[in-house]
Structure formats: C-alpha cells, structure tokens
Amino acid sequence: MSSKDKVISILKEKGSVPQSELGKLSGLSKSRLSEVLSELEKEGVVKRRKVLGKNLEVSLSQDRFLRLGIIRAAEYPFIIPFIKNLENRGYNVTVKIYENGVDLTRDLVEGKLDLGLSPIITQMIFSTIYRNIRIIGGGAKGGGGIIGKTCNRIASTVMSSMEIWAFSEFKNIEIIPSYSSYQMLDFLEKGIVDGIAIWEPFLSILERKGHKVHRFTPLHCCTLAVRDTMDWERIKNIYEESFSWFKSSMDRWISSYSNLLNIDYNILKEASKNYEFDYYLDLNEFKNALKNSGIFIPI
C-alpha cells in the first residue's frame, strides 16, 4: 500500500485526525507525512484546519469522499442507486454497517461518518444535543414489530423506533435495553424476556420459523441525516432522484443490497414488502406524533 493510500485508509476509518496522531498511525516520518498531505491537499483529497493554536486536524474532503452508515436491516435497498448516483458525480463512497442506531448516530456527530440512516428519534435527540447534523430525508415506513408475548418484559434497542413504537402500543411493558438484533434474539431464546421489538428481516425470518408476530403501525423509522458541513441540498437532490430510480426496478436493487448485507435475496425481497419506501419526510408530523405519546424533543 502506498503512503497516500495508507493515509486515506486511516482517515476513512477514523474520520478527522490530528496530524501528529496521523503520523503515529501511518508510521510515516513527520517530513514524509507532510509531503503526502501536501500532495493530497493539491489533489483535493484531504483538508487540513487549525485547531487549538498551531495544531492541525486532517480529514478527507467531503467533495470527494463520503462515508455512509446504515443499520443491519432490510430497510435500505434504496442506498444502492443512491451510491451509484453519488459515484457518477465523482464521490468515492464507503458503507459501514452498524448493529444499532446509537453507535451509528454517535459516529455521525463525531465526524466518523458523513451521512447516515438511523432511527429518526435517535437523530432528533443527537441533533438537539450536538447541533452539527441535519435530517434531510425519509427512507422507509414500517418494518418493525414484536416477536413473542406483547406484555411484560420486552427487549428493544435503546433510543430507537422499536422502543418508541413498543411504548406507544403497549403502555405497561418493561423495556430491557439491547444493543443489537443478535442480543435480543439471545435474550428471547434464553427466556430473559417475553418478547422482542425487532425489525426486518428478522421479523420475516422468525415468522417463517413459526413465531407469532405483532407488526407495528407503519411510521417512519430511519431517516437520512448528514453532517452540517456538507452541501446538504445537493445530497438531498441526489437522494430524491435516486428514490425514483429505486422504485422503477426494486428487485434489481434488492438483489445488490442482499450482496452488501450477505443476506439471502429471497428473505430480503419478502421482508421489503413490509415497508413503505418514501423519501419525503415531514418532521413536524413526526414531532406531533411523539407529543401525542407524551414525548417532546425541541428540535
């Protein structure tokens, strides 16, 4: 791997990095690193900015490189045409798959991602606290439900659509916090909980195995948020254009998406029928729905 490729690889993984730390991570001498960064700056690949006096922070240029985060779910086959559209406009896109929305959205506000699809409730809370991300589009409605008994102790990922929907439909349940679909499945198998609030494709997989499924009312789950340093209007336009492309040939994109997730195509195709795909998002409508459930977030 060349010195340039090594630096780019580190920045893709770490996000913004102090130049002094980048030297340690790359193993390059101070003078060689300075040469490499100067070349990459001229090529428009990286950007450097001063922080805390003379210290320099290095990051990949958002005009060239984008890091997209998604959750391991059947929910995002539309990202395949979105990525292709971004690449056609000169972006180099890297996808990172997460097990829950909290970790994904934390990486987004910390600059380790440039854009991400995670639960709207998670994004609203983080954007209220950090004020450095912007929610710019919808994604899919529905796709969530409860496996097992809809009473007593239910496992759910924290700060998620599953948690909100479970509380909205079943007032007296106790939520046992979880941090991945696999942890919830383990809780259910061991009898630690009576049911789990989980998403597709796990609902369809478990339903095939004979489990009883209660599906939530279709509401927006995950939405697209971006760092506020980005040209969000341009990204939003590309995103909306990609949705039309997705809907014109959904099976094709689901097939490519199954390769990305390494999940069987037939399972994803079946699971996708339980979503309503829609890039349009009315944040006020969602906020009013939360208020009716007794939740207020001042975004």
- pLDDT of 296 reads 59
CATH 3.40.190.10 is held by the domain 63-140+217-291? yes
Supply the pLDDT for residue 116.
98
Locate tokens 């998406």: which residue? 257
The per-residue pLDDT for 297 is 65
How is the chain split into domains, by residue range? 1-58, 63-140+217-291, 143-213
Taking only the tens of pLDDT, the chain with its 299 residues reads 899 999 999 998 888 899 999 999 999 999 999 999 999 999 989 999 887 766 889 999 888 999 999 999 999 999 999 999 999 999 999 999 999 999 999 999 999 999 999 999 999 999 999 999 999 999 999 999 999 987 789 999 998 999 988 988 887 889 999 999 999 999 999 999 999 999 999 999 999 999 999 999 888 899 999 999 899 999 999 999 999 999 999 999 999 999 999 999 999 999 999 999 999 998 887 777 777 666 656 65
Between CA 136 and CA 89 the distance in angstroms is: 19
**pLDDT the model gives residue 10:** 93
Identical fold, 1-58 and 63-140+217-291 = no
Phi first, then psi, for residue 69 (nearest 5°) are -105, 140
Kindly report the number of other CB atoms within 10 A of residue 283's CB atom.
Answer: 14
Q: In this predicted structure, what is the pLDDT of residue 295?
A: 65
Which CATH code for domain 143-213?
3.40.190.10
What is the distance between the alpha carbons of residues 218 and 257, in angstroms, rounded to a whole number? 22
Judge whether 182 and 202 are in contact, CB under 8 Å.
no
Distance from C-alpha of 36 to C-alpha of 299, rounded to nearest angstrom: 42
Task: Calculate the alpha carbon distances from 241 to 78, 226, 278 in Å.
Answer: 11, 17, 12
C-alpha dihedral over 140, 167, 97, 193, to 10 degrees?
-130
Give yes or no for a contact between 261 and 182, defined as CB atoms under 8 angstroms apart: no
Distance CA 12, CA 10 (A): 5
Q: What is the CA radius of gyration of the chain?
A: 21
Report the candidate in 130, 111, 128 with the shortest Cα–Cα distance to residue 66.
111
What fold, for 1-58? Arc Repressor Mutant, subunit A (1.10.10)
**Global pTM value:** 0.89
